[in-house]
Amino acid sequence: MDLVWDAIDFYDQSIVLSKNKSLESEAIAHSHLGRVFEFLKFYEKCHVHYKFTVDLVVAMQPKNFNNHSWYKQALVGLHKLQQQRQYREREEKERIRVEMKGVLVELKKASERSAQTLIDFIYSNLPPQNGQQKSTDHQVKSQLKMALLHHPDKQDMKVHGLKWIVIAEEITLLLTYHYSVLKI
């Protein structure tokens, strides 16, 4: 095991020595270091080094590295890590959807009645976390635009938590449907 840590130290030294001198050498060292961390199951560090590899290769364009084994390994490893992360997020969100089933069913029932009923339900039971109030304009289209403040991209996971993000996703799906119907 000591030899593995020695190898990691040598790759780190290689990265330091090649920084600002040879982007290709730095990218190769990051790729190999990512591979070592992947074998050690340090996935966060692995992800960081594979990402550095890809970023450095992009910085060296128009030179093509697609046929180099170290670059292929970095791409495959990065893709695999991203898939694992997405799978874990989907599993966690599905667990929360099951837990919040009652609220989601009420949302869908309100959506089936009308867009106005949905908006009223959202603002009475699930107001936006950023403190925005319901639009005083009585046109449904402008109220739908205001209600899009629930969009998951406008929410902060660290502040509001994953439960709110899941609810915001469902609200956005229903609002987008009603908005697209009004657009036609």
Give the whole-angstrom CA distance, residue 29 versus residue 16. Answer: 10
Per DSSP (E only), the strands in the chain are none
Tokens of 137: 């304009």
- Of 12, 86, 83, 89, which is closest to residue 45 (Cα–Cα)? 12
Give the whole-angstrom CA distance, residue 21 versus residue 145. Answer: 51
Q: What CATH topology corresponds to 2-87?
A: 1.25.40
| Amino acid, res. 24 | E
Alpha carbon of 91 to those of 12, 50, 64, 88, 182: distances in Å? Answer: 35, 25, 37, 5, 34
For position 135, what pLDDT does the model report?
A: 54
The 10s digit of each residue's pLDDT in 124-182 is 888 776 655 555 556 666 666 666 677 777 777 778 788 888 888 888 888 888 777 76
Domain limits of the chain? Answer: 2-87, 100-183
- Entry pTM: 0.68
